[in-house]
Amino acid sequence: MERSGIIIWAGPLVPDRFPQEKTVQKTPIWVDIDTQVDFVLPHGKLYVPQAEQIIPNLRRLMECARREGILVLSSADAHPPDDPSFEQWPPHCVEGTEGQERIPETQFETSWVLPNRPGCYSQLPTPLPPQVILEKQDYDISSNPNFDPLLERLGERDFFLFGVATEYCVVSAGLALRRRGKNVHLITDAIRAISEEGGRKAIDQMCEAGVALRSTEEVLAARRSAVGK
């Protein structure tokens, strides 16, 4: 099977090329929340405590995605310098700054940014790039108006959620996907919370909403058996 280049990302769009069941129905999607310098690295402007400790798992997940052609749907905080949210939080992820960039481990060479404006979705190329980044100014990835059209295009998949911070943007994404009836798996050793209690409550909330809890190793092992390696 042809597995080189960008073609493998295009399962849903070239149904004659691959068996429908294998690609459209079974291929999972990674949902990578806000793994940006300002949140993940200790010198970041809104560092999530110990977030750098999940980097090895982030790296393994991204390597798996690259190898297998799993679409990575990322969110990125992108604030103007005078964003009103800076009354509540220290200024962070300001557009054009180093802190707003993803850490290298979660940034593919080829990605496509969907700014938080209606209509950007229509410019998203076909086949889809390996990584689609939805910008947002709020906690919730679904506040970007391009989120729903993109989900619609992706159809029924299993969504594997990771990133930071658990009790803000990760829980918002998990609940947004569940509200849309999606299967959601939270990778609990690839997330970090700002506070331990907040993180615990957010996980409980997601479980109540029907999110399944997984470990990185469990997810990667399932992929290995799915691709027969």
Give, for 160, the enclosing helix (H) or strand (E): strand 158-164
34 scored as a contact of Zn ion (CB under 5 A): no
Nearer to Zn ion, 39 or 160 (CB): 39
At closest approach, how far in Å is the CB of 168 from Zn ion? 8
Length, in residues, of the chain: 229
Dist CA 211 CA 178 (whole Å)? 7
User: Which residues sit opposite 33 in a β-bridge?
Assistant: 75, 163
Nearer to Zn ion, 23 or 116 (CB): 116
At closest approach, how far in Å is the CB of 61 from Zn ion? 23
At closest approach, how far in Å is the CB of 32 from Zn ion? 16
At closest approach, how far in Å is the CB of 38 from Zn ion? 8
Instruction: Report residue 10 CA to chain centroid gap.
Output: 18
Binding marks (x or -) toward Zn ion, 57..96, rule CB under 5 A?
--------------------x-------------------
Instruction: Report residue 112 CA to chain centroid gap.
Output: 13
First CA to last CA across the chain, in angstroms?
Answer: 15
Site residues, Zn ion (CB under 5 A):
77
